[in-house]
Amino acid sequence: MEQVESEGNNKKRVQGGKTTTELVLSTYMEGNEFVFPKILQLHVPLDAVVADVTYGKGIFWKNVPKEAYKLLATDIMTGVDCRSLPYTDESIDCEVLDPPYAEGFFRRSKTQSGALTGSHDAFWKRYGNHKRPVVSEGPKYYDVVLDLYFKAGQEAKRVLRKGGVFIVKCQDQVSANKQRLLHVDLINYYEPLGFYTKDLFVVVRSNKPCVSRLVTQVHARKNHSYFLVFVKKSGQSHSEVEKGRSGKEVAEAK
């Protein structure tokens, strides 16, 4: 911040602020419970209403003081689907979304558990209350992951206030031997939806991942994930968009 000092009739600008190394960084080799509070510190004001719609075991909040925010903790295990939230339009200051982002979590048969072993299984036990969603219809493989994120993003647009913060955890993956950059797909979808991509954090695993029955490696193994921080733009509200859409449909019918 600039300050102005006067010397007689002359004024000169003096740079304010201080020199420090105590900064929130973009990359960390720490657990989510250590990175998440830093994201809140930088982007979410104290006492804000925060809906964590994939709360699970609450790992993200382990190091966040309980009195710091008005936390609304829900997930599919408590009967609340992140794609259909029980909140009124534009009533939430911040939403946190961290659904399962490995396609193996959505295998259509419980016997198709190959992608749920090893490190994935340990992750699910820690964050998912030991239960896995099984999808019986709809998109398959990577597309089912996208479908979940996209629909959850639409619902976040509805419940967030203008200027509200949308914190999304995700990880890129290889599906059917094809590189799928989930964080890029989400940015490309959420931006036209009405969000501004304000920040991106990279979380690097501190331990080495392991793969069973490796024959030939053709892609680099992912050992990092992302926190994406979006801000809802001050455009039309969800209700205004729906009202306009309905009016258009009526006009076309006439």
pLDDT in tens, 81-92: 999 999 999 999
The pLDDT score that the predictor gives to residue 214 is: 78
- Number of other residues whose CB lies within 10 A of the CB of residue 76: 19
Out of 3.30.360.10, 3.40.50.150, 3.30.1330.10, 3.40.190.10, select the CATH number for domain 24-253: 3.40.50.150
Question: How confident is the model over 42-63, as pLDDT tens digits?
Answer: 999 999 999 999 999 999 999 9
The pLDDT score that the predictor gives to residue 14 is: 66
Separation between Cα atoms, residue 112 and residue 99, nearest integer Å: 19
How do the domains of the chain map onto residue ranges?
A: 24-253
What is the three-state SS of the chain? CEEEEEECCEEEEEECCCCCCCCCCCEECCCHHHHHHHHHHHHCCCCCEEEECCCCCCHHHCCCCCCCCEEEECCHHHCCECCECCCCCCCEEEEEECCCCCHHHHCCCCCCCHHHCCHHHHHHHHHCCCCCCCCCCCCCCHHHHHHHHHHHHHHHHHHEEEEEEEEEEECCEEECCEEECHHHHHHHHHHHHCEEEEEEEEEECCCCCCCCCCCCCCCCCCCEEEEEEEEECCCCCHHHHHHHHHHHHHHHHC
Q: Which residues of the chain have a pLDDT value below 70?
A: 1-14, 102-140, 236-254
Separation between Cα atoms, residue 109 and residue 89, nearest integer Å: 36
- Number of other residues whose CB lies within 10 A of the CB of residue 136: 6
The pLDDT score that the predictor gives to residue 23 is: 95
Beta bridge partners of 240: none
The pLDDT score that the predictor gives to residue 123 is: 44
The pairing of strands 49-52 and 70-73 is parallel
The pLDDT score that the predictor gives to residue 210 is: 76
The pLDDT score that the predictor gives to residue 175 is: 86
